[in-house]
């Protein structure tokens, strides 16, 4: 618990859990491209984001899959073909992404 002027403030479990789940440096951007730009493949994501390393992108994708935001489909082909898509949990996050985008456009002039 945090303290503020002598009183204890209980930590917000939902916000801290969400922060852990999508708090990686690139996770929100990854979700944005998959949800709103129909980017499905590792290489496409890497080109969209630009300065992300392959290992970081792999790690962040894996965590988003583990946390239930993305589904990973491996087609078992050579060369490897893998696609990422939103799960129902990921779909439920789209309105939040859109609100963040609108806020950035309005408040930050982007």
Indicate the fold that domain 40-108 takes in CATH.
Arc Repressor Mutant, subunit A (1.10.10)
Identify the CA nearest to 64 among candidates 103, 104, 25: 25
pLDDT of residue 11: 85
pLDDT of residue 10: 86
Strands (DSSP E) found in the chain:
2-4, 7-9, 70-74, 82-86
Q: Domain segments of the chain: what residues?
A: 40-108
Note if the pTM is more than 0.85: yes
pLDDT of residue 69: 98
Asked if residues 102 and 94 have their Cβ atoms less than 8 Å apart, the reply is: no
10-residue averages of pLDDT along the chain (110 residues): 68 91 94 95 94 95 97 92 96 96 95
């Amino acid at each position: 618990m945090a303290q503020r002027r002598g009183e204890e403030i209980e930590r917000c479990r939902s916000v801290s859990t969400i922060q852990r789940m999508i708090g990686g440096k690139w996770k929100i951007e990854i979700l944005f491209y998959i949800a709103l730009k129909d980017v499905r493949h590792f290489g496409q994501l890497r080109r969209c984001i630009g300065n992300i390393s392959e290992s970081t992108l792999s790690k962040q994708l894996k965590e988003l899959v583990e946390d239930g935001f993305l589904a990973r489909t491996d087609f078992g082909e050579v060369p490897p073909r893998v696609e990422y898509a939103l799960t129902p949990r990921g779909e439920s996050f789209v309105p939040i992404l859109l609100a963040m985008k609108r806020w950035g456009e309005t408040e930050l002039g982007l």
